[in-house]
Copies of this chain bind each other. A is one copy, B any other.
């Protein structure tokens, strides 16, 4: 027997442990070593907000197996047969000698460790704002379990009454929920862009989320940037934005993360412009003996063909497994991703996969959307709720580019987004989505599933059978009443629903003919105006559009999504 193959994995959170365990199973005779600079390893980082909120009582739950064993050095050594060095920093890689230089942070002892194959799973590091005060006591980035423990400790000890969260991405929102919902902390969230979750979802979805956060007592300021973090005696006291000063005894910086690739750079490995370690589909770096996976790499986007940065524990695990295979000589490939996203925010769920409209347009697609607002299960089933859903598609190729949804907090949206992710990764078009065989029973779905309905509308738009006005254009018009005197709403809902609107806006702006009377009463409609046809979800409006077109009255547009969406976005102008 020859000498044992030595595989060294640097980074012990997600991709690293996954790869180490996989390769050890594939090559039980190999010597596999897992190294991390921290003493806490192999934890579910995405669970941190739920630990802070108290949903997860103890931090050790985040680093335990499903059979309640803590994943520490003992676990990896004895359950997995993997040599594990924690509190150990990697100082340098010598690619010629195939060694790494490490130092134990507790003892200070340095040593040189040889490898046959090396893997870098060095993860990410949080972005820090270039403003004064970021080093004050009480200012945190949610970068690891220690920070999470420190934050929860302060809250639990009653030291936090006002918190400011900088950044309206997933982590910022989840932290704001944790503070408000379970601890009753007075929380303000500020986001520099004009919407929450920028680039992940488009405005109507983000606007529904924003209203819900506000309804749940999170103060949200959009288009507002922090310019200074204020303090006294070294402790944080507030945040100064370009518009106001906010008091705070806790500040969370949730302004994104970037790849940690210093070690790779130092070793001369290829690194992308944005700082991610470059890998091929086998997760191999520019040095064939060195692999990389997880938050320190970029992966191919299956829709744009470009690389993108998707720092998620789920992808890290999948990439790590592929790296493990290849380190063992099995030529598995990781094809790339489509960018699936999901989060809970209080009582709602918001999710997306593929490209948002904003991103799709920026990428040069001939992109458009269908906005729908159907029930998430048979509308007669007692637990049904409305889901706002946006399908992004390319008008030229009819390819579906993305799907977004926001609705009640259950797994119904998960089902639509996951099915869409599977389809997107196979290049599915609108017709594929129209016939997607979602499993049907009234407690789970409607006979015409949300995803089928979204595709039906998308197809009608593509084929120029449905002409829609976007929710944003409609809002802009309503917020500047009279800005387009040639526009008028045609409300086709039941008179009971329409009359408060007619009363408030008058017949110059808000006409009403119920849809069952439109075939007999359409001659009452003005010929010199553009009609914005308005109903609950958009489907009856489309029906009316088809009819009006057929009688030669083509000056009309459907407000897709209708009142179901507007009610959830809210507006000052609503009666």
Contacts and interface: CB of A to CB of B under 8 A. Distances in A.
Interface string A352-382: 0100000000000000000000110011111
Interface stretch (A145-153, A202-210, A447-455, A471-479): A447-455
B543 A444 contact: no
Nearest to A174: B441
A184 B379 CA distance: 26
Interface stretch (A109-117, A125-133, A416-424): A416-424
Copies of this protein, total: 2
Contact of A436 (B316, B317, B422): B422
A56 B452 CA distance: 25
Nearest to A545: B25
A435 interface: yes
Given A380-B61, A434-B318, A428 B421 contact: no
Contacts of A79: 515-516, 540, 543
Given A332-B431, A447-B44, A536 B440 contact: no
A122 interface: no
A519 B425 contact: no
Contacts of A341: 439
Interface string A15-56: 000100000011011000000000000001011001000011
Contacts of A313: 440, 447
Contacts of A322: 435
A382 to B, nearest CB: 6
Nearest to A322: B435
Contacts of A493: 67
A152 to B, nearest CB: 15
A192 interface: no
Interface stretch (A223-231, A266-274, A406-414, A526-534): A406-414
**Interface extent on A, as a size class?**
35 or more
A107 interface: no
A340 B28 contact: no
A452 B318 contact: yes
A344 B67 contact: no
A338 interface: yes
A115 B431 CA distance: 29
A315 interface: yes
Contacts of A44: 378, 380, 442, 447
Interface-centre pick from A62, A378, A410 (highest chain B CB count, 10 A): A378
Nearest to A410: B411
Interface string A392-413: 0000000000000000011110
A343 interface: yes
Contacts of A444: 342, 344, 349, 411, 414
A96 interface: no
Contacts of A515: 79
A282 B409 CA distance: 39
Contacts of A535: 67
A66 interface: yes
A494 interface: yes
Interface string A136-157: 0000000000000000000000
Given A61-B380, A67-B494, A431-B332, A543 B441 contact: no
Interface of A: 14, 18, 25-26, 28-29, 44, 46-47, 50, 55-56, 61-62, 64-67, 69, 74-75, 78-81, 170, 312-318, 321-322, 332-335, 337-344, 349, 351, 353, 374-375, 378-382, 409-412, 414-423, 425-426, 428, 431-432, 434-445, 447-449, 452, 456, 465, 493-494, 515-517, 519, 535-537, 540, 542-543, 546-547, 549-550
10 contacts: A26-B465, A47-B381, A66-B537, A313-B447, A317-B447, A317-B448, A343-B441, A418-B439, A423-B426, A425-B437
The 10 A-B pairs at the shortest CB distance, nearest first, are namely: A28-B550, A314-B440, A411-B411, A342-B439, A415-B415, A340-B439, A418-B419, A422-B422, A78-B516, A61-B380
